[in-house]
């Protein structure tokens, strides 16, 4: 790992490095999307190269698939894999019950499908992603383009009856044009500030015609690995609390990580 990374990037790296050690030969593994998940893919690529690790991977986005192939990981579709042993992904927020907000990278639909098609979902994150209550990070909602403004109005109306602190909505942009997901849809970011009942909010949003999926991952994550900028890690699950603490040493910059784009 490059030694000139910021503390946050170092935290992401050590969480990803520890999670990569959970992957065993022959596993079918879901690979998440985002900067932390990119570190995971690189770590797994290093194991494929140096240890001969043999896995098949189902990426949750086009960019994750491209990176996985680049580092030598075999990529298949979810239909080909049928079911996964393990999915490892990042999160924009996680709470004490391991509820998540995901979708900051715009891949929430594939991420949720892949995570729920897995025996185990592990989240990797830096310590700054932990919150007491979900909602500070804008909640992404994937919406089809047809009738977008009508769907947006229905979402805003629904939020009026939800236990949330804010109700502002914003169409996610990519420069001057709307952001487009891998499925050709739009992202509506909900600035809720605090979500009092995440399960109720997720169910209500998914009842709205035009909404494809939302970024609340409730009762999906089994374990979270938290990384710190000084190399410390903590592995935590809902049933047992902290199950492991430790520290990973940083390595020199002359390795596989130096040349790969994020």
Render pLDDT for 177-207 as a digit per residue (tens, 0 to 9).
Answer: 999 999 999 999 999 999 999 999 999 999 9
What confidence score (pLDDT) does residue 253 get?
Answer: 40
Q: Is 90 a known ligand-binding residue?
A: yes
Whether this model's pTM surpasses 0.85: yes
Q: Determine the average pLDDT of the residues in 115-143.
A: 98
Is 35 annotated in a binding site? The answer is yes
Residue among 141, 187, 185, 145 at smallest CA distance from 164: 141
* Fold of domain 139-213: Alpha-Beta Plaits (3.30.70)
Mean pLDDT, residues 68-73 taken together: 98
Q: Residue 130 catalytic?
A: no
Written as six digits, the tokens of 251 are 């390595």
Does 151 appear as a known binding residue? Answer: no
The answer to the question of whether 61 is labelled as a binding residue is no
What are the extents of the domains in the chain?
Answer: 7-130+219-255, 139-213
* Catalytic residue (choose from 46, 93, 111, 142): 111
| Mean per-residue pLDDT, 227-250 | 85
CATH topology of domain 7-130+219-255: Rossmann fold (3.40.50)
Q: Is 52 annotated as a binding residue?
A: no
With a cut of 80, say whether residue 150 has pLDDT above it: yes
Q: DSSP characters for 5-57?
A: --HHHHHHHHHHHHHHTT--TT-EEEE--SHHHHHHHHHHHHHHHHH----EE
């Amino acid at each position: 790992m490059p030694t000139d990374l910021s503390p946050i990037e170092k935290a992401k790296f050590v969480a990803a490095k520890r999670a990569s050690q959970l992957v065993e030969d022959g596993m079918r593994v879901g690979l998440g999307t985002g900067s932390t998940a990119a570190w995971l893919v690189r770590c797994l690529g290093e194991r494929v190269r140096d240890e001969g690790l043999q896995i098949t991977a189902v990426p949750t986005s086009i960019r994750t698939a491209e990176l996985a192939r680049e580092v030598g990981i075999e990529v298949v579709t979810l239909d080909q894999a049928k079911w996964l042993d393990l999915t490892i992904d990042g999160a924009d927020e996680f709470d004490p019950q391991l509820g998540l907000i995901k979708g900051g990278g715009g891949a929430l639909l594939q991420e949720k499908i892949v995570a729920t098609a897995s025996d185990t979902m592990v989240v990797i994150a830096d310590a700054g992603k932990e919150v007491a209550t979900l909602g500070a990070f804008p909640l992404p909602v994937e919406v089809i383009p047809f009738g977008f403004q009508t769907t947006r109005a229905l979402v805003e109306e629904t939020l009026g009856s939800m236990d949330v602190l804010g109700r502002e909505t914003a169409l996610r942009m990519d420069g001057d044009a709307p952001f487009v997901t891998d499925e050709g849809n739009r992202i509506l970011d909900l600035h809720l500030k605090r979500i009092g009942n995440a399960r109720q909010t997720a169910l209500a949003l998914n009842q709205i015609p035009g909404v494809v999926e939302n970024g609340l991952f409730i009762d999906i994550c089994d374990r979270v690995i938290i990384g710190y900028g000084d190399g410390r890690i903590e592995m935590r699950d809902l049933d047992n609390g902290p199950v492991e603490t430790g520290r990973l040493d940083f390595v020199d910059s002359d390795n596989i990580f130096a040349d790969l784009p994020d």
